[in-house]
Amino acid sequence: MSLAKRFGVLAVALAVAPSAFAVGEATGAKSNPLTNYNPVTEDRLQNPEAENWLQWRGNYEGWTYSSLDQINADNIDDLVPVWSYSTGELEGHQAPPIVNDGVMFISTPNNQVIALNAETGEELWRYKKEIPEELFQLHPTNRGVGLYGDKVYLAATDACLVALDAKTGAESWVTCVADWQDGYYMTLSPLIAKGKVMVGVSGGEYGIRGHITAVDAETGKIEWKTHTIPAPGEPGSDTWKGDAWKTGGASVWIAGTYDSDLGVAFYGTGNGGPWMPDTRPGDNLYANSVVALDVETGDLKGYHQYHHNDAWDWDEVSPPVIIDYEHKGKKIKGLVHAGRNGVLWTLERNKDGSIDFVDAEKYVKQNVFKSIDPKTGRPTYDPAHVPGTGKTVTFCPSLWGGKDWPPEAYNPKTGLFYIPAHENLCSEMGGVKLEPRKSGELYIGVPIADILTNIRLADGAEDHIGEIQAWDLKKGEKVWQFNLKEMNWGPILTTGGNLVFSGGSNDRMFRALDARTGEKLWQYRANSGITAVPSSWMVNGTQFIGVQAGWGVDAQRMQGAFDAVMDHTTSVPQGGVLHVFALKKNAKKLMDAAAR
C-alpha cells in the first residue's frame, strides 16, 4: 500500500472516530487487520471458525474448546512466549482474548477495551469508559466483550452497555439498563443472538432485584427486561414473603449459554439477599437457579432451582454447559453444571424450553445436603449446617463453593468435562441483625470481617485444596484430577491437541495438562496470578494460546482468608499483562511479521 493510501485510510478513520483516538492511538501500519474487518454474523456465532474466538467461551454452548491442534500434547515442549502486552490496570483480569480474523479485543478492569493485532500484538486502538468517581467498584473486573456486526459491546460497571465501532473504538451508542446509585453494576460478557445483546446485573450484596435485559444490537433500544425474582401475582411469587422480592438479589453476572435451535438462552442466577435465609423465608424462586428465556421475547420458558432459600452465598451464576450426552442408555439433550454448592448437576432441555432434572453427584466434600430427590432434584438440608441470624455454623464447601464463577470446559474429542474445583475447604458463618436498607449501601447481614476470615480447613487440606477434575458424563465418573496446593481460580481451555490450559493458583503458573490423563506437560510463570479465560486462535497458519494475567477481586480476597487461618502470608503481585504463546518454529515468522 502506498503512503498516500495509508494516510487516506487513516484520514477516514480519524473522521469517524475522534473519541477513540482521544484515549488511544491508531496504527498506520500496512498490516492493520482492521482494514478489511469481517463483520460477525449470527451464522458465524452459531458455527464459529476454528481459527477465531468470537465469544467469551468460544461457542454458544459454553464449551471453552478450540478444535485447533497445531499445538498438541506431543509438541507442547516447544510452546514459547511470542509477545505480551501490559494493560496498565491493576485488579482482576478475567476476560479472554476474543479474536476475529486477526483482530483481537480484550477488556480489562476499569471498563477498558483494547484492540490488538492478534498476530503481532500491535495496539490498534484503546477505549476507556469514564465512570462517576463516587462509584465504588465492589468487583473491579470485566469478563469480556461481545462481537456482532461491525460493533464491539462492553458491559460497564456503571450498569451501562456500550457499543463501539470495531474499526475505530468510537462509541456508537450507550444504553444504561439500571441505576448504579441503587447498587446495580455489570461485569459480564454480553450474550448476542437474534440481533439482541443480552446482559445481566450484579449487585445482590446491595439488595438489588436481578434482571436480564435485551438491547437491540444496532440501535441500543431496550427490547425486553426479565426479572429473576417474580413480582406479586407472577408465577413463583408465592416463594417470597412480604416485600423481600424487591431486594432479593438473584443477580446475573455471567453470560448465558444459548441453544440456537430452540431460540432459548440459559442463565444462572445468584443467591438470595440478604444472605441469611430467615430474612427472606420461602424457596426464593428464581435465585440459585438456571432460567431458560425465549430470546425473542424474554419470556421464562423453564427453570431448575439447584437449592432453595440459600444460606451459604452459593451463587449459581455459571450457566449450564450445553452438551448432548447418554445417561443410563438414553440420549439426553443435556445441560451440565458444576454447582457452587458442590454438586455436579445433569439436566435435560426440552423443545418447549422447560428443564428436567436428570441426576446429581457430589464432586467435592458437601455436608449440607442430606439427600437429593431422585425425581425433582430438590435437596433436603441438615439444619446443623444451615446458618442464620444469630446462628453461626460450619458448612462445606466454603462460601466460595466447590467451584466459583471460573468456567468449566468440555472437549468433544476426549468426551470429558473439566471442572476447576476447591476441595477440602469449608466455612464458618452466621448472620447479624440487619439495619434498614439504604440505596447503594451493602445489605448482606454478615459482617465483612467475618466474610474475609470465614475459611475453615477440612481433613485433606494439608495435602491440597485446588483441583482440576475431569468427568466422563456417560459413566458419571471422575476420570482424573490434578491437584493444586491452595486455591484454584483458573478458567479452563481445552483443545483439539488433547490439552487443557489453566492458571488459577497463587504461584502465578499457567499450565498445560494432557486432557486425557491430567499429566502436567508444560508450565509458564506469569507476572501475576491468572484468573482469566484462556483462548486459542490462528493467524497466517500459526496457532496461538493467549491469556491475561492479573490477580485481584475474589482470588485476592480468598488469599487474605487463607493467610488469616494458615501459618503464612502470600503475596501475589498485581498488574495486567496479556501473555501470548506459539510454537518455537513459528517465532521467526512472527518476528518478521512484527517488523513489517
Per-position DSSP letters for 172-240, written without gaps between them: EEEEE-S-GGGT-B--SPPEEETTEEEEE-B-GGGT-B-EEEEEETTT--EEEEEESSPPTTSTTGGGS
pLDDT bin (cut points 50, 70, 90) of residue 113 is: very high
Torsional sign, CA 44, 50, 51, 55:
positive
pLDDT at site 589:
86
The least confident of 66-70, 198-202, 246-250, 565-569 is 565-569
- Who contacts 417 (Cβ-Cβ below 8 Å, separation ≥6)? 321, 323, 336, 408, 409, 410, 470, 471, 472, 473
Q: Find the mean pLDDT for residues 84-92.
A: 97
pLDDT bin (cut points 50, 70, 90) of residue 536 is: very high
pLDDT above 50 (res 7): no
Q: Find the mean pLDDT for residues 357-377.
A: 98
pLDDT tens digit sequence for 386-395: 999 999 999 9
Torsion angle, alpha carbons of 41, 43, 49, 55, to 10: 60
56-90 exposure pattern, b = at least 16 Cβ within 10 A, e = fewer? bbbbbbbbbbbbbbbbbbeebeebeebbebebebb
pLDDT at site 27:
45
Mean pLDDT of the chain: 94
CA atoms of 500 and 468, how far apart (whole Å): 10
Q: Is the CB of residue 57 less than 8 Å from the CB of residue 44?
A: no
Pairwise pLDDT comparison (256 vs 10), residue with the higher score:
256
pLDDT above 90 (res 303): yes
The least confident of 15-24, 25-34, 569-578 is 15-24
- Looking at the chain, the whole-number percentage of residues with pLDDT higher than 70 is 95
Which residue, among 593, 590, 558, has the nearest Cα to 572 in the 3D structure? Answer: 558
pLDDT at site 30:
54
pLDDT at site 31:
74
Q: Find the mean pLDDT for residues 220-247.
A: 98
pLDDT above 60 (res 485): yes
pLDDT above 90 (res 490): yes
Q: What is the pTM of this model?
A: 0.94
- Who contacts 304 (Cβ-Cβ below 8 Å, separation ≥6)? 289, 290, 345, 347, 355, 356, 357, 377
313 is catalytic: yes
pLDDT at site 590:
87
Annotated active-site residue in 259, 313, 359, 404: 313
Q: Find the mean pLDDT for residues 27-56.
A: 89
Q: Is the CB of residue 323 less than 8 Å from the CB of residue 410?
A: yes
Q: Find the mean pLDDT for residues 289-305.
A: 98
